[in-house]
Amino acid sequence: MGVLAAAGIQRPRGTEDILPADAHRWRHLEGIARDQAGRYGFGEIRTPAFEYTELIHRVGVSTDVVQKETYDFADRGGRSLTLRPEGTAPVVRACLQAGLFGGSLPVKVAYVSMAAFRYERPEAGRLRQHHQFGCECFGVPGPTADAELMLLLADFLAAAGIRSAVAHCNTIGCAECRPSYRQALQAYYRDLLPTLCADCRRRFEQNPLRLLDCKIDREAALGAPRATDHLCAACGEHFQGLRALLAAGGLTYEVDHLLVRGFDYYTRTVFEFVHAGIGSQAALGGGGRYDGLVESLGGAPLPAAGFGVGMERLLGALALEGRGDGPAEGCDLFVTGEDTAAVFALCAEARRAGVTAEFDGLGRSLRAQFRHADRLGARLVAILQGGDRPVALRDMRTRQQRDIPRPAIVAAVLAEKDAG
């Protein structure tokens, strides 16, 4: 690193390296994500890291993420491409392109540790490249999909070890009832305009719902009209239905009248799971319903809902709660002995049999090799004693040692491994 730093080469601002000492935490969470998504019937999907700019920009005309934070670039053929800032639009594009929406419904897909890119001001919990576990469900008009997604997110966070996340949910109506709610908000905020921050003055015209989301003018938002008081009958019924299902599913949550979320595509339900301890970037994950997006991207009208949860924020919250270590990758067997080729051969044989095996390739003394085995967390050390002599197998936890004939050593290690 020293040399690279001197040459001015560092990782780009707002990005993180995941080094071997941390990678097991990621794999652990990814395993839980796949397991939980599988239980709810979501199949895995992977899409490219970049899309045509048109797709990403069509999704969010008044969305900050899309207006101000995308990485857009021209490729060598002169086409404009954008690094995906989120997963929903690319997933819709991929499902449309594969014709999945013409098959049997619902279509339920999940992405795990999907990299997303946003040119934001980096701070704790806010990166320029982050990773999301997300689930998207297409084809279910009723609130069972919204409820299922919220339960899945709650189950995932609980299985990951999070204890203090709070579920917030709200409804923001639909194309029919939102215009009257926007008007009510504008009427309320009009007199307050001179006191609002610059961003909010811009939002007043473009996207007045986002005024509720302002981190600076919290006071003003608290007195603002509530979406729940402006819903059409169908949206009101949907929200009541969702609440009944969340109760049936045993999820504790708060109705948060200020929750609006940052993308234009949401309709009706929006939700967020917030962690009290991780500072200003407190949302671990969020999502909602987006009944108009598939049609706006060229498909037939299709109801949809989904969520995304940030892996880095989740790992940060777990660290704060003193959890999240997951099972560290251990080493089952360390092999040592005078005869390098024999050590090498036993390692190779053990690895092929499914054992995690290591040896010293640096010519260290036997004592130093044992210290190294300890550092690696080796459960067993095999000491090759030369010729036809049996191999001494030492259990590093009990410090007990027994002799085993060379041909039986791998089977003995496997038996120990199976016994835990």
Looking only at the bridges linking them, the beta strands covering 107-117 and 43-44 are parallel
By beta-carbon distance, which residue lies closest to ligand HAM?
310
The least CB distance from residue 373 to ligand HAM, in Å, is 38
Q: Which amino acid is at 184?
A: A
Which two three-digit tokens encode residue 35?
A: 């397991």
- Binding ligand HAM by CB under 6 A: which of 25, 118, 168, 275? 118
- Binding ligand HAM by CB under 6 A: which of 126, 202, 226, 417? 126
Q: Does 120 bind ligand HAM (CB under 6 A)?
A: yes
Alpha carbon distance 291, 121 (integer Å): 31
Burial of 34 (0-12, 13-18, 19+ CB in 10 A): middle
Considering the complex, state which of residue 87 and residue 324 has its C-beta at the smaller distance from ligand HAM. 87
CB atoms within 10 A of CB 97: 10
Q: Does 64 bind ligand HAM (CB under 6 A)?
A: no
Considering the complex, state which of residue 118 and residue 379 has its C-beta at the smaller distance from ligand HAM. 118
The least CB distance from residue 137 to ligand HAM, in Å, is 9
Which two three-digit tokens encode residue 399?
A: 């410090």
Query: Of the ranges 39-47, 83-91, 245-253, 340-348, which one interacts with ligand HAM (CB under 6 A)?
Result: 83-91
Q: Which residues pair with 108 in a beta bridge?
A: 137
Largest CA distance in the chain: 92
Considering the complex, state which of residue 208 and residue 286 has its C-beta at the smaller distance from ligand HAM. 286
Q: Does 88 bind ligand HAM (CB under 6 A)?
A: yes
Considering the complex, state which of residue 89 and residue 409 has its C-beta at the smaller distance from ligand HAM. 89
Considering the complex, state which of residue 316 and residue 337 has its C-beta at the smaller distance from ligand HAM. 316
Considering the complex, state which of residue 285 and residue 324 has its C-beta at the smaller distance from ligand HAM. 285
The least CB distance from residue 24 to ligand HAM, in Å, is 21
Q: Does 134 bind ligand HAM (CB under 6 A)?
A: yes
Q: Where are the beta strands (DSSP E) in 17-176?
A: 43-44, 50-52, 72-74, 80-83, 107-117, 129-138, 165-171
Q: How many residues bind ligand HAM (CB under 6 A)?
A: 26
The answer to whether the CB of 275 falls within 8 A of the CB of 282 is: yes
Q: Which residues pair with 50 in a beta bridge?
A: 83
Please list, in sequence order, all residues whose beta carbon lies within 8 angstroms of the beta carbon of residue 57, skipping any fewer than 6 positions away.
66, 70, 82
Alpha carbon distance 287, 161 (integer Å): 21
Query: Of the ranges 41-49, 139-147, 221-229, 281-289, which one interacts with ligand HAM (CB under 6 A)?
Result: 281-289
Query: Of the ranges 132-140, 196-204, 247-255, 347-355, which one interacts with ligand HAM (CB under 6 A)?
Result: 132-140
> Helices marked H in 43-87 — which ranges?
53-59, 64-68
The answer to whether the CB of 294 falls within 8 A of the CB of 136 is: no
Considering the complex, state which of residue 189 and residue 265 has its C-beta at the smaller distance from ligand HAM. 265
- In the shown chain, the binding pattern of residues 251 to 270 toward ligand HAM, with x for contact by CB under 6 A and - for none, equals -----------x--------
The least CB distance from residue 274 to ligand HAM, in Å, is 9
Q: Which amino acid is at 167?
A: A
Alpha carbon distance 298, 309 (integer Å): 27
User: If we measure between CA atoms, which residue out of 127, 97, 96, 24 comes closest to residue 295?
Assistant: 96
Q: Which residues pair with 217 in a beta bridge?
A: none
Please report, as residue ranges, which positions from 283 to 322 form the binding site for ligand HAM (by CB under 6 A). 283-288, 306-310, 312-313
Alpha carbon distance 120, 66 (integer Å): 11
Q: Does 106 bind ligand HAM (CB under 6 A)?
A: no
Q: What H or E segment, with its residue span, contains residue 310?
A: strand 304-310
What phi and psi, each to the nearest 5 degrees, are found at residue 85? -90, -10
- Binding ligand HAM by CB under 6 A: which of 56, 66, 110, 127? 127
User: If we measure between CA atoms, which residue out of 68, 72, 70, 67 comes closest to residue 85?
Assistant: 70
Query: Of the ranges 51-59, 73-81, 84-92, 378-386, which one interacts with ligand HAM (CB under 6 A)?
Result: 84-92
The least CB distance from residue 420 to ligand HAM, in Å, is 35
Considering the complex, state which of residue 136 and residue 213 has its C-beta at the smaller distance from ligand HAM. 136
Considering the complex, state which of residue 126 and residue 417 has its C-beta at the smaller distance from ligand HAM. 126
Q: Does 138 bind ligand HAM (CB under 6 A)?
A: no
Q: Does 86 bind ligand HAM (CB under 6 A)?
A: yes
Q: Which residues bind ligand HAM (CB under 6 A)?
A: 86-88, 118, 120, 125-127, 130, 132, 134, 136, 262, 283-288, 306-310, 312-313
